[in-house]
Amino acid sequence: MRMTVIGTGYLGATHAACMAELGHEVLGVDVDSAKIDSLKDGVVPFYEPGLPEVLTRNLEAGRLDFTTDYGKVAEFANVHFLGVGTPQERGSYAADLTYVYAVIEDLVPLLEGDHIIFGKSTVPVGTADELQKRADELSKPGTTVEIAWNPEFLREGYAVQDTITPDRIVLGVRRGETKAEEVAREVYAQSIADGAPFLVMDRVTSELVKVSANAFLATKISFINAVSEICEIAGGDVTKLADAIGYDDRIGRKFLGAGLGFGGGCLPKDIRAFMARAGELGADQALTFLREVDAINMRRRDRVVQLTRELCGGNLLGHRVTVLGAAFKPNSDDVRDSPALSVAGSLSLAGADVSVYDPKAMDNARKVFPTLGYVDSIEEALEGADVVVLATEWQQFRDLDPQAAGELVNKKIIIDGRNVLDVDKWQGAGWDIHALGRTL
Ligand code: UDX
């Protein structure tokens, strides 16, 4: 099939490359010419394991191309995927839909014939219906444009795998006459044949599926982090507790990783946008618990800063603190709302001499927080440290040798912000190790 993908960020670039990998002919479009030039050259403008190979393979096979020209998009295909960003609006909890509407405004007047636009961006419930109205107003006489919603559940770090073999495909279609289901079944034929459940519903429900999934995941993480606060005071061990409750398959162990909490471009802004939308719909009370989920999450960052201060004798001023990690999670160079970077920033603002190291996210971190001290290796980061904070659980940090690390630091004090280190090993090498939700 021929199709276009509008927006080439994490979501769009991955979707474009993976659709080509499935054998489709794909044209990706973005208003950012630097991004398009890079993708055309086979260079993914962010870190995503496996994606560069898929990109170059499909560029070379001639199934994939990129452009900044909407005119070409209108001519290339009758099936379009919309994958532009919906960031948090400045000064509010709501999602900023500027980019989504801009696509409809720019593209629809150029279309001729029968087209389907599959929205993949995470949007407030009701957006697809509004976009349909706008598309109906903007389309040329004789042209039809159907808006369907096909939310994306990919995780950064596993984006290729999640796109090629998704755990489910959700499609929201309009009531009445629709061609979207038939077309989507063709687009995703291979994934469906491989066993991916294909769920068709109305557009409103499909929009809600996405935000509900992310709200549930955020709630699960904050639940264990709230219990973690109690463990810290009562003297319990949240990791053993999570193992024990996780064996109940109604609960499950996944996303019960207590620590510095969630960040990234999705979970934090999605729960806020969900609350904002509930308020607009007159159902504020339904989601007030998400405010608490957000607050618990942010408190974990404060806790690490406070613990570091305590370990520096009550004052951070002049103390050397190493922060291992800047990305919001391992296998990503994304620093959007990163707990690691937030902690590093707060420590620095409180007077600590902070040195940050991350295997992939240094460039992005520098752009967001230019005043922090960045170093090029773990060894350099550890040199002379008074306290080490493990903030993102990269494998490289999990594998750190406590003996060798101990020879570089000034004081052997470490905070395991992700509960991933082998406590006995670190204590055996003479380290004073602290972790969230555990008394060690
Ligand atoms: C998330 C959703 O998982 C995905 O389905 C959606 O499409 C986009 O948002 P992503 O942002 O890539 O994906 O990251 P995810 O793996 O969900 O992790 C989110 C955050 O939660 C990270 O900061 C991670 O460190 C944190 N986390 C995760 C925990 O603190 N504890 C856990 O047990 C799991």
The yes-or-no verdict on residue 139 having pLDDT over 90 is yes
Average pLDDT over every residue of 395-399: 98
Quick one: 171 and 271 in the same domain? no
Q: Could you tell me the CATH number of the domain that includes residue 84?
A: 3.40.50.720
Question: pLDDT tens digit string along 45-91?
Answer: 999 999 999 999 999 999 999 999 999 999 999 999 999 999 999 99
77-113: string of b/e by CB count within 10 Å (b at 16+)? bbbbbbbbbbebbeeebbbebebbeebbebbbebbee
The yes-or-no verdict on residue 227 having pLDDT over 90 is yes
If one counts the domains in the chain, the total is 2
Quick one: 111 and 234 in the same domain? no
Reported as type and span, the H/E element at residue 415 is strand 413-416
Quick one: 239 and 355 in the same domain? yes
In whole angstroms, give the CA distance from residue 124 to residue 127. Answer: 6
Question: pLDDT tens digit string along 360-377?
Answer: 999 999 999 999 999 999
So what's the pLDDT on residue 425? 98
Confidence bin at 4 (pLDDT 50/70/90): very high
Quick one: 233 and 368 in the same domain? yes
Quick one: 410 and 269 in the same domain? yes
Is the distance from CB of 179 to CB of 145 less than 8 angstroms? Answer: no
Q: Is 54 in the pocket of ligand 1 (CB under 6 A)?
A: no
Residue 30: name the closest of 76, 84, 108, 78 by CA: 84
Residues 6+ apart with CB under 8 A from 242: 224, 253, 256, 257, 258
In whole angstroms, give the CA distance from residue 61 to residue 58. Answer: 5
Quick one: 182 and 320 in the same domain? no
Question: pLDDT tens digit string along 172-204?
Answer: 999 999 999 999 999 999 999 999 999 999 999
Asked if residue 119 belongs to a known ligand binding site, the reply is no
CA of 157 to the centre of ligand 1 (A): 10
Quick one: 252 and 188 in the same domain? no
Nearest CA to ligand 1 atom 2: 155
Nearest CA to ligand 1 atom 30: 261
CA of 329 to the centre of ligand 1 (A): 8
Q: Is 293 in the pocket of ligand 1 (CB under 6 A)?
A: no
Percent of the chain at pLDDT exceeding 70: 100
Q: Is 155 in the pocket of ligand 1 (CB under 6 A)?
A: yes
So what's the pLDDT on residue 302? 98
Domain end (from 196, 215, 244): 196
Quick one: 345 and 314 in the same domain? yes
From edge to edge, which strands make up the β-sheet containing 198-202? 64-67, 25-29, 2-6, 79-82, 114-119, 144-149, 169-173, 198-202
In whole angstroms, give the CA distance from residue 263 to residue 284. Answer: 24
Name the burial class of residue 407, with classes exposed (0-12), middle (13-18) and buried (19+) by CB atoms within 10 angstroms of its CB: exposed
Residue 187: name the closest of 83, 81, 100 by CA: 81
So what's the pLDDT on residue 284? 87
In whole angstroms, give the CA distance from residue 275 to residue 212. Answer: 11
Sequence-ordered alpha helix ranges (H) in 61-111:
70-76, 98-107
Average pLDDT over every residue of 2-26: 97
So what's the pLDDT on residue 30? 97
Average pLDDT over every residue of 224-248: 98
Nearest CA to ligand 1 atom 16: 155
Known catalytic membership, residue 312: no
Q: Is 158 in the pocket of ligand 1 (CB under 6 A)?
A: no
**Residue 261 CA, closest ligand 1 atom number:** 30
Q: Whose structure tokens read 């599959």?
A: 118
In whole angstroms, give the CA distance from residue 87 to residue 266. Answer: 9
The yes-or-no verdict on residue 228 having pLDDT over 90 is yes
Quick one: 212 and 187 in the same domain? no
Average pLDDT over every residue of 18-25: 98
Quick one: 100 and 120 in the same domain? yes
Strands 432-435 and 198-202: unpaired
Choice from 207, 329, 343, 397 to test ligand 1 binding pocket (greatest atom count within 8 A of CB): 329
Choice from 51, 122, 155 to test ligand 1 binding pocket (greatest atom count within 8 A of CB): 155
So what's the pLDDT on residue 369? 95
**Whole-number mean pLDDT of the chain?**
97
Reported as type and span, the H/E element at residue 275 is helix 267-280
Domain end (from 142, 177, 196): 196
Q: Is 328 in the pocket of ligand 1 (CB under 6 A)?
A: yes
**Residue 218 CA, closest ligand 1 atom number:** 21
The yes-or-no verdict on residue 439 having pLDDT over 90 is yes
Task: Name the DSSP class of 284.
Answer: G
Give residue 208's domain range: 202-440
CA of 267 to the centre of ligand 1 (A): 7
Q: DSSP letters of 361-392?
A: -HHHHHHH-TTSEE-SSHHHHHTT-SEEEE-S
Choice from 221, 358, 393 to test ligand 1 binding pocket (greatest atom count within 8 A of CB): 221
Domain end (from 177, 196, 215): 196
Cα(first)–Cα(last) distance of the chain, in Å? Answer: 58
Quick one: 401 and 293 in the same domain? yes
Q: Which residues, in sequence order, are bridge partners of residue 416? A: 390, 435
CA of 183 to the centre of ligand 1 (A): 30
Q: Is 104 in the pocket of ligand 1 (CB under 6 A)?
A: no
Q: Is 156 in the pocket of ligand 1 (CB under 6 A)?
A: yes
**Residue 329 CA, closest ligand 1 atom number:** 25
Quick one: 188 and 248 in the same domain? no
Nearest CA to ligand 1 atom 27: 262
